[in-house]
Amino acid sequence: MNFSTPALPLLTGRGLTKRYDGRGGCVDVDIDIYPGEVLCIVGESGSGKSTLLNALALRTPVNDGTLHYRSVEHELLDLFALPMPRRRMLARTDWGFVHQNARDGLRHGVSAGANIGEPLMANGARHYGRLRETASDWMNQVELDATRIDELPSAFSGGMQQRLQIARNLVTKPRLVFMDEPTAGLDVSVQARLLDLLRTLTAKLHLAALIVTHDIGVARLLAHRLMVMKDGRVVESGLTDQVLDDPQHPYTQTLVASVLPV
């Protein structure tokens, strides 16, 4: 872990509230994400963690709150006031979004190489040869067989599709990646390899990552910091080891106690 990161947060949310017809969602959430850190949001289904993630990634409008992002040029951007073109620009250059289902994050009619190259082409890359080089380089980085670059995503297994999705998100060299349960739906051994890969990549690329998960194991392995959510509110947050070894809130205690020992 790298504790020499600058003290200024990358993304700062204050009082974020998103309700669905006055129910559910998340309420009054304060959040800071620092450069290079992995922050996990854990909680049960319906606790508002995915809503919070979507709100932070500007994929759903909020009812209340403020959200600021520090750009590469150290400019503090008010994200909710940012015009749409800038938002999209940010989303496709500085950010990544890894969906729970690889099928939501991949384009299924085109090959693996085109999937990895698409964000680059969206950013203006117009050289076929270089796109291919980059794509096969990234396939190697996420431990996929680069000779399969011309195969359709459907030809890959679930775990491989998830790696492909990660490659596609990291190819633009983002500073912040949002992940919605990236390992859910994968079997345990595949999960382990993917987690290992994520840990390596986030460290190597000095990537800030916000990972939503209901799996305490994932959080323990990856996260530097942890936020526990229940009924739309953050009930506890702190360093991962601290929260998991000495949970204060009754809900966190239940959560930690309910992990099956192997």
**77, 99, 236: which is closest to 178 by C-alpha?**
99
> Binding segment for another protein among 22-30, 33-41, 120-128, 166-174 (CB under 8 A)?
120-128
Contact at 8 Å (CB) between 205 and 198? no
If binding is defined by CB under 8 A, does position 171 make contact with another protein? no
Cβ 121 to another protein shortest distance, Å? 4
Rounded distance, CA 108 to CA 187, Å?
Answer: 22
Angstrom distances, CA of residue 179 to CA of 5, 15, 82, 170, 205: 21, 22, 23, 12, 16
Q: DSSP class of residue 80?
A: G
Rounded distance, CA 141 to CA 138, Å?
Answer: 5
Q: Residue count at the site for another protein (CB under 8 A)?
A: 22
Judged by beta carbon, residue 8 or residue 110, the one nearer another protein is 110
If binding is defined by CB under 8 A, does position 113 make contact with another protein? yes
Cβ 50 to another protein shortest distance, Å? 22
If binding is defined by CB under 8 A, does position 128 make contact with another protein? yes
Q: Restricting to residues 85-104, which ones interact with another protein according to CB under 8 A?
A: 85, 88
Contact at 8 Å (CB) between 96 and 118? no
If binding is defined by CB under 8 A, does position 22 make contact with another protein? no
SS3 222: helix
Q: Which of 3, 7, 45, 126 binds another protein (CB under 8 A)?
A: 126
Judged by beta carbon, residue 54 or residue 252, the one nearer another protein is 54
Q: Tokens for 40? A: 């996990």
Q: Name the site residues for another protein (rule: CB under 8 A).
A: 84-85, 88, 107, 109-111, 113-114, 117-118, 121-129, 131, 150
